[in-house]
Amino acid sequence: MTYKIIAFCLQQRLLVLIASGLLAVIGLFSFERLPIQPFPDVQNVFVQVVTQYPGQAPEEVEKLITLPIEKEMNGLPDLLNIRSVSIFGLSVVTLTFDDAAEDYFSRQQVLERLKSVSLPAETRPLLGPLSTGIGEIYRYRLEAPGVPLVEQRALQDWVIERTIRYVHGVADVVAFGGGIKEYQVQVDPNKLKNYKLTITDVYTAINANNASIGGGYIEHGNEALVVRGAGLLKSLEEIGNIVIASNQEGVPVFVKNVAEVVIGAAPHTGLVGFNEHDNVVEGIVLLIKGKDANEVLKGVKAKIEFLNNHGLPPGIKIIPFYDRTELVRHTVHTVEHNMLLGATLVLAILVIFLRRFWAALVVIIVIPMSLLFAFILIETWHISANLISLGAIDFGLIVDAAIVLVEAVMVKVTLEMRQHATAAHMRQSMLITAAEMSRPMLFSQAVVIVAFLPIFTFQRVEAKIFSPMAYTLTFAMLGSLIISLTLIPVLLSYMLGPKLTETHNPLVQAMEQRYHKLLEAVLAKPRKLFALAGIALALSLASTPLIGTEFMPKLDEGNIWLTITLPTPVSLNRAKLLEQEIRASILEFPEVKSVLTQLGRPEDGTDPKGFNNLELLIDLKPKETWRYGKKDDLVKAMNKRLQVFPGLLLNFSQVIQDNVEEAISGVKGEIAIKIFGQDLKILQEKANQITGILRTIRGATDVAAEQQSGLAQLLISIDRAKIARYGINISNVEDVIAMAVGGKAATQILEGERRFDVTVRLTAVTRDSVGAIEDITVLSPNGGRIPLAELAEIKVNQGASRIGREDNMRRIAIKCNLIGRDQGSFVAEAQKKVAQQVHLAPGYEIVWSGQFENQQRAMKRLSFIVPVSLILIFLLLFWTFRSTRHASLIVMNVPFALIGGLVALLLTGIHLSVSAAVGFVALFGIAVQNGVILISKVNLLRREGLPLHEAVLQGSISRLRPVAMTALVAMLGLLPAALSTSVGAEAVKPFATVIIGGLMSSTILTLTMLPALYSNFEK
């Protein structure tokens, strides 16, 4: 079959060249359209149900909102997990679905179920935006000197947000800070008493005096006149002039007689600071899942430029401070630099070994052509293109087939030239040689692709990280094989003659002479080599505990995301003072470019946080300007500086890392320990106990438990017996509490296209203390005004600040990050100590989660699939050689590739991560490939009649150059990735290091132990 393909290509050379050019053009077009991400999106399909229940404590939010929604969502198709958070005034239920789910179908299913949920009338559950943990692509703030913050926020909500959301690919624009504008009716209770009115009367009057109505139409001559009754409120004065009632003399009582009407901000749920500015308005642009961030950002920036130049009032500007384009640019630069340097090194090795520039150039052509072929399939199949999938492309794997073919053709052409063969004869000889080499080439590539089989079986997080890499490499290798069997023979046919003849190569000659002596010694005493190799393998395996394990190395995003948990009962004003001091401390570091602070949560409820949650986005200057050699050292210095603030719990992370960790496990931290149970007090006690244990273990940092209690509450317990004596209902008392203390929107006022609430509430001085609230009166049916203190028990106590749930049970989480230690050994020690010291009652359970859980799941799957993959490789080898002995011989050589890989990890201090494990999987395929090349040649010589010893010697020596070249180009092709320190290089470094180290030991043993084993087997 391959003979016919190559023969056809040599007969139709022009057609092959045209097809290759067409492939290049389509590949370039596909590459231009390819959405490149810095990191893969690892989040499963998920849907958030956000329900705001203003003024309600977490206990009521859980009972009345969260539990009914959770109950109804059970049993959704492909549902994997239900998590929820209930805090003051907010419920967020997160539904995670498995890999088989589809985003829009899952959202539709959730919407249908929500229709059946019975919730309080004043609540309305909404779905969160269709975005992911890596969806934050752009952040900006408003710069508006002299403009009130509420007006800045109004511009953000009604002008900027809708303009940016118009861009295709934008899921949402989250506004944060500044305060939502509202018209406030601040009622004086003493004036109400004078006029014998209640706050409910004020509310009802305002509600009834803001409407427009249609009266149909009338005929006026030849015209039809539409009848409109216009009664909408337009200003503060009109609100103040609303009549509430008339006194006994018939004099009207206006709103302005009992209240002050002003424009102000709704009660804050969060505040934003930036550098020296204590209060700014921030916008966060979210990307729709699966869209190209670069293309969307182009549209966003175009809209912002329009707004800055034409769409905003003079003096108001949108100032960006976080742009995903920068990270993408750094990522692409890292990949391009490593690829170009790798390709240059590969070309240098080929020129050194082949001594023919044009022959080396023919081999190099395979690299861009294979990549372009891969880009076509990646774009067609919608495979993620990111730092890991592109950065892990090994040029050695791609050019292996071409190296073997070109080297064999050069040997054949050199012989033909010595015999003065004609061009036609040389072309026929090249066809025969290429056809002979096609079988081992085909099966070598198939073996490497089969070696990637375990990666295709990954699930969830690890699948989303490594499957794109496996697909990309497989597509590139498939392209390499096609190019090597079609275009390469055509190009070689144009160079038949002196351009392809071998010249004297002193380096190769010296290598062959020394290798000949070494091989003679090995074949004479093979058992010594077998023993040394076995000892080396045993020692390398024994060193595994020293290497340590982790899920994935930390990817440097060039920023720090610092989450600080303040004491739970902290007030907004006190939290703001702490935030200002902390921001000033961080800005003192010369490595810091800018600091954004977010206190609390945005008003849309998509991020369930309280006033005790402070988040800092710390943008860093280039590393070459730092005083510290590593980012961990800078983090340690910041941590030490912040220890002057007592009672703070710190968590250092990065923007994308933080969002992804929280989205996957619901906890911000590398290691997450979850305790399940029902009693919040017991959960908190056990969490605090585990926190104390973790802090004693080496490597632990940022250890903290969720604080689910300690929220200060003013509890108004209504006495039913007392209100019954006055003829008052529970609802009458609760309406007064909600309206007088919390405030209630009576209606809305329109300013052009904008809408703002008109809120009724008591003046601040009459509701800002326990005593003032006790004096608030409730009107009885007989007209008496009864103080709240007479109707209820009012006391200050502590309640739940946050109630977390997962899979229909309450749970509390402890998070932990690591510095200077691997995840595997840390978790093993922590699990042992926790099991010894923490004892749980029946109904309570501890679950270890976070990145550790992902690593365990991936390694468990590898432990099963890798042996299956080796069996498939064995079957391919058997099919190739038609011999169980030869197939077993090559498979036996595979474990020895572990030696160099493990030693490389140990020497470089890199932990054994899933990335490194994937490197070992690829390494096994390369080791088998080199074995196939060598054994195929020995078998060919034996079929030609050479004795066993001579066949082993000559076959091994003749394959020294191609085996050495394939190993060197594979190692040098990945060397830039292994040595790179650029942004994002950490992702590919373990993969590259394992292959480079493993190939060193694998190549040496393939050239020495494999011939010895072959000789022993055949004897």
What are the tens digits of pLDDT across the range 300-325? 999 999 999 988 888 899 999 888 88
- Residue 883: per-residue pLDDT: 75
pLDDT band at 1019 (very low <50, low <70, confident <90, very high): low
Please give the average per-residue pLDDT across 580-587, as a whole number. 91
Task: Please list, residue by residue across 948-987, b when 16 or more beta carbons sit within 10 angstroms of its beta carbon and e when fewer do.
Answer: eeebbbebbbbbbbbbbbbbbbbbbbbbbbbebebbbbbb
812/810 Cα distance (integer angstroms): 7
Q: Under CATH, which number does the domain 1-33+355-503 receive?
A: 1.20.1640.10
Provide the CATH topology of domain 505-546+883-1018.
Answer: Multidrug efflux transporter AcrB transmembrane fold (1.20.1640)
- Could you tell me the CATH superfamily of domain 559-653? Multidrug efflux transporter AcrB pore domain (3.30.70.1430)
> Where in the sequence of the chain do the CATH 1.20.1640.10 domains occur?
1-33+355-503, 505-546+883-1018
Interatomic CA distance for residues 529 and 737, integer angstroms: 87
- Please check the confidence at residue 984 and state whether its pLDDT lies above 60: no
Whole-number percent of the chain with pLDDT over 90: 12
Q: How far apart are CA 981 and CA 595, in angstroms?
A: 25
Q: What is the average pLDDT across 440-457?
A: 74
Q: From CA 921, how far away is CA 830, in angstroms rounded?
A: 30
- Mean pLDDT confidence for 741-769: 87
Domain limits, CATH 3.30.70.1430, in the chain: 44-130, 559-653
Give the pLDDT band (50/70/90) at residue 441. confident
pLDDT score, position 601: 86
pLDDT at 392 over 70: no
Average pLDDT over residues 125-130: 90
**823/551 Cα distance (integer angstroms):** 8
Q: Is 506 exposed, middle or buried (0-12, 13-18, 19+ CB in 10 A)?
A: exposed
Instruction: List Cβ<8 Å contacts ≥24 apart for 974-977.
Output: 974/342, 974/394, 974/395, 974/396, 975/341, 975/342, 975/345, 976/337, 976/338, 976/339, 976/341, 976/342, 976/345, 977/338, 977/342, 977/391, 977/392
* Residues whose CB is less than 8 angstroms from the CB of residue 776 and which lie 6 or more positions away in sequence, other chains included: 189, 736, 737, 740, 741, 762, 766, 767, 787, 788
pLDDT at 167 over 60: yes
Instruction: Report the pLDDT averaged over residues 810-819.
Output: 85
The predicted structure's pLDDT at residue 114: 92
The answer to whether residue 808 scores a pLDDT higher than 80 is yes
Architecture in CATH for domain 44-130: 2-Layer Sandwich (3.30)
* pLDDT, the chain, mean: 82
Residue with tokens 């409407």: 211
Q: Which residues contact 802 (CB under 8 A, 6 or more apart)?
A: 58, 85, 86, 87, 608, 610, 706, 707, 708, 711
CA 582 from chain center: how many Å?
28
Tell if the pTM clears 0.75, that is, is over it: yes
Encode pLDDT of 636-686 as tens digits: 889 888 888 888 888 888 877 777 666 666 777 778 889 998 888 888 888
Lowest-confidence pick of 293-302, 733-742, 961-970: 961-970
End-to-end CA distance of the chain: 34
| Pairwise CA distance, residues 93 & 66, whole Å | 7
Residues 691-725: pLDDT tens digits?
A: 888 888 888 888 888 888 777 778 888 888 888 88
- What residue type is 177 in one-letter code? G
Here the tokens at position 72 are: 């109804």
Instruction: Show the DSSP H helices in 717-837 as ranges.
Output: 720-726, 730-736, 770-774, 788-791, 823-837
pLDDT score for 303: 93
Q: Would you place residue 337 in the very low, low, confident or very high pLDDT band (cuts 50, 70, 90)?
A: confident
pLDDT at residue 820, as a whole number: 75
Calpha distance 973→393 (Å, rounded): 9
| Portion of the chain with pLDDT greater than 70, in percent | 94
